[in-house]
Structure 1
Amino acid sequence: MGQKVAGTCYIKVDGEQLVITGGVEVPFSDVKRETIVKGYFKEEDITPYVKVDAIKTPGLDRSKITKGTNIVVTAEFRDGTSYVLSGAYLVDDAPFSGDDGKLSLKFEGISGDWQ
């Protein structure tokens, strides 16, 4: 029997749902490990984030997205799991393409929790 593991995702920024075009990226782990020599490794914390391509729809709260510094971003995945990013803020450039109405958004935050 097959199991649904991918498909439609839902993204909410402080409760307001975004219209997205597909790709949503979040970290699966909260640490990054690197081998120093066989059997020994170092470990670094990963900054929690949500990366998504969204559509600039009429009524999209641009100010909340660009100026917010304590946002909650929720990514709900088709397999029933969610990733909640707390204390979030927009990082990097947020390019908008007038050709297809897409915004590329990356939020980083204080805490990222799988639920």
Structure 2
Amino acid sequence: MADTTNRLAGTCYLTVDGVDYLLVGDFSYKVSGVSRETLTGQDRIHGYSEKPVQGAITATIRDSNGLSVADINAMTNVTVVAELANGKTIIGANMWTTEQPESKTTDATIEVKWEGPSVTEN
């Protein structure tokens, strides 16, 4: 077996509710967290406000036979899992698609973005 100790990038495997999708590339993710805004007064910095921010997972997938763009658009409350080359597993729970996806026939690709309350990396 090849030693992959130093592998940082390259392969990525994507599933949604346990179904494999052909990942072309452009995979990215943002873990759930908080957004902070500094609160200033006329006299000094007063502190900050903090709000929750949704996590996001974005991927370009291949429009293969049997894949339905309408089904992707209808995704709500799905679990998105990605296994990265560096050993990380990205898990998005209770995700929904945003932005209506479209298929590009020149290379059979679809850009998909999921958002939700919980995106973690393990």
Please give the range of the TM-score, normalised by the shorter of the 2 chains.
Answer: 0.7 to 0.9
Q: State the one-letter code of the partner of 2:57.
A: V
1:24-74 deviation per Cα after TM superposition (whole angstroms, max 9, x unaligned): 111146223344456944433221111000001112254542223111111
Q: 1:97 to 1:35 in 2, by over 3 A?
A: same
Cα contact 2:92–2:116 (8 A) shared by 1? yes
Tell me the CA shift for residue 110 of structure 1. 2.6
Identity over aligned residues, as a percent? 25
Following the alignment from structure 2 to structure 1, what is the Cα–Cα distance between the partners of residues 90 and 103? 25
Change (3 A) 1:96 1:62: closer
Residues 14 and 64 (structure 1), Cα distance of their counterparts in 2 relative to 1, 3 Å cut: farther
- For residue 26 of structure 2, give the secondary structure of its aligned residue in structure 1: strand
Q: Helix, strand or coil for the counterpart of 1:26?
A: strand
**Correspondence 1:7 to 2:10:** yes
Q: Distance in 2 between matches of 1:7 and 1:33?
A: 33
Determine which of 79, 95, 100 is the counterpart of 2:102: 95
Secondary structure of the residue that 1:68 maps to in structure 2?
Answer: coil
Aligned counterparts of 1:39 and 1:77: Cα–Cα separation in 2? 41
Unpaired segments ≥5 residues, structure 1: none
Match in the other structure for 2:53: 46
Q: Would you say 1:85 and 2:88 are equivalent positions?
A: no
Structure 1-normalised TM-score? Answer: 0.83
One of 54, 62, 67 as aligned partner of 2:74 = 67
SS in 2 for 1:25: strand
Q: Which has the larger radius of gyration?
A: 2
Contact 1:8/1:22 (CA < 8 Å) preserved in 2? no
What is the letter of the counterpart of residue 116 of structure 2?
G
Query: Which of 67, 76, 94 is residue 83 of structure 2 equivalent to?
Result: 76
Using the size of structure 2 for normalisation, the TM-score is: 0.79
- The number of aligned residues is 114
Local SS of the residue matching 2:30: coil
